[in-house]
A and B are shown apart, each in its own frame.
Chain A
Amino acid sequence: DGGITQSPKYLFRKEGQNVTLSCEQNLNHDAMYWYRQDPGQGLRLIYYSQIVNDFQKGDIAEGYSVSREKKESFPLTVTSAQKNPTAFYLCASSIGRGGGQPQHFGDGTRLSIL
């Protein structure tokens, strides 16, 4: 079955530590996204990528970094500069450009501070 796989499901970060969240898709989608979800705030876009080796900042990119070396993979690193990283992180993909293209989501990674 095609889909988006996020790992790990739960992740704990120590002070001053960088952590990387994995996102893999086998849908052959060109575009991929990372969102942060906090209670009562909906989803906020962190980064997105339209094609391999290219990515753009979203609304809340500070303290995060990404790479897109392969079409199917879009890992997110939460750096020590992100002072409030506790949240639910969602990865998504879509077939490409154009309005009306729905995004497909993974099951998320819940990040907490130790």
Chain B
Amino acid sequence: GNSVTQMEGPVTLSEEAFLTINCTYTATGYPSLFWYVQYPGEGLQLLLKATKADDKGSNKGFEATYRKETTSFHLEKGSVQVSDSAVYFCALSPPGAGSYQLTFGKGTKLSVIP
């Protein structure tokens, strides 16, 4: 079956530090990959996505590259801010016209301190 594995949290960084949150997946074929962010007390917001190998998704200074050879989709940001404190979820959607479901990782909590 499909699965997503994220690095365990929580992650605590100082403001302006470099961020990497690792995400690896198991799936048949070429799934679509997503990063979602959840701020305290809110639902999930789509942060970025990639739909094929070597695609790079980017948004709000965050980036992730779809690496088929390592089945990875690591999230990076060059300089984090206090406002980036949230829980980050990696997710995949299987390929094909009948695909509806997302498989989520367990989430990684990020805290950025001034």
Give me the interface of A with B, judged by CB distance under 8 Å: 4, 6, 31, 33, 40-43, 45, 48, 50, 58, 90, 92, 94, 97-108
Q: How many angstroms from the CA of A50 to the CA of B99 in the assembled complex?
A: 10
Judge whether A98 and B89 touch: CB under 8 Å. no
Q: How many angstroms from the CA of A26 to the CA of B95 in the assembled complex?
A: 27
Query: From residue A39, how far is it (CB to closest CB) to chain B in Å?
Result: 9
* Interface size bracket, B side: 20 to 34
Give me the interface of B with A, judged by CB distance under 8 Å: 31-32, 34, 36, 41-46, 49, 51, 89, 93-102, 104-107
Judge whether A97 and B97 touch: CB under 8 Å. yes
Query: From residue B102, how far is it (CB to closest CB) to chain A in Å?
Result: 6
Judge whether A100 and B49 touch: CB under 8 Å. yes
Judge whether B106 and A99 touch: CB under 8 Å. no
Judge whether B107 and A98 touch: CB under 8 Å. no
Q: Which residues of B contact A33 (CB under 8 A)?
A: 100
Q: How many angstroms from the CA of A45 to the CA of B101 in the assembled complex?
A: 8
Judge whether B104 and A42 touch: CB under 8 Å. yes
Q: How many angstroms from the CA of A41 to the CA of B44 in the assembled complex?
A: 15
